[in-house]
Structure 1
Amino acid sequence: MFNVILFGAPGSGKGTQSQKIVEKFQLKHISTGDLLRSEIATGTALGKEAKQFMDNGVLVPDVVVIGMIGKLIENNKEAKGFLFDGFPRTVAQAEALDKLLKLSDAEIDVVIALEVSEEELVTRLLGRGKTSGRSDDADETIIRSRIEEYRKKTEAVADYYKKFNKVKSIEGEGSVDEIFEKLSAIVEQYI
């Protein structure tokens, strides 16, 4: 089983690139953002709770996200592997993910970090906010808060995986295809 984390700030292109990687390498895509938005769209209690956090640019609590991920791994034992998009976001989540994967005799093989400047992230997210209907992409103050939240908490996840020599960084600015070529080259080293 091959497992990869696609890592980057909000607006770095994780969702776009994840879809391309999943199609090419036949991995199961796990996007906590998509999972949470689905819960919001269906109006579940979890969705209502998650929406309050997301609307304020704050991360959804670990216990909620970890439970969802564990259920997905358990329900997809036949998968060739998983691409984690937007998860883990904290060191506690990374440690919990490692424990969940170990139960399946698996581990994270590589963490690929998309590096994008803050100004480019803001531009991308404001543009997405005009078409997506996502309230967290419509306000520059909330966007910058999300980027700062990412830097404070999530970059520590890269440091965690660096201890195991699993992090590869690539430039996340350029055409979608150029970035995908770089990502594919890294994945092919591990498959």
Structure 2
Amino acid sequence: MRLLNATSFEDMIALYLKAELTGRFGGEIEALLEREKARRLVIENPDLTSEADNTLRRRILAGYRAYVFEDLPEHVQWHRALLTRDDVAKVRYIDYSYWNELSNHTRLPSVAAEVVRSGREVFGVSNEGFLQAAQALREGAHFPELILVAESPDSALTVLEGHKRLTAYLLAPECLPDELAIIVGFAPECARI
């Protein structure tokens, strides 16, 4: 991993929302934007210098995914970074029943990619989303950065947001760039995520 520059919690939240706006939580985010009388622009083109916009994005995220941040310490140091292909293959899923089962209890998306290729579905959930995302990569799609966490720059990386995109990269490894842009947060407590 090559660290590029420090960034902020607000940058991470903006990316988190932007990545999920077009995914399975898009409807919930749209409803929260409507309730807040806010435009998509606050997510699609975030102004990180606006405290009002930052507060709004925090409220929106808390409105549908607050539980994601329950184990995330407040003092995480966020950075933009680049991962090599080898680094990407070593990123782990969060410790969650679906991702554990999909990866044969290894938490490795490379193993999950093999499970998806085999056609085995977990908990009755279709693998079609992974296959479609991999095909989109093959057709030239560009995904938002993954959001990862780790205890330190030298410890194992865990995906906080971007599980499907990470799996798609490993289903279509020929589409993985030599260096993949990410946001990563470091704190000792992140080791347990």
Q: TM-score, normalised by structure 2?
A: 0.26
* Larger RCO of the pair (alpha carbons < 8 Å, separation 6+): 1
Q: TM-score, normalised by structure 1?
A: 0.27
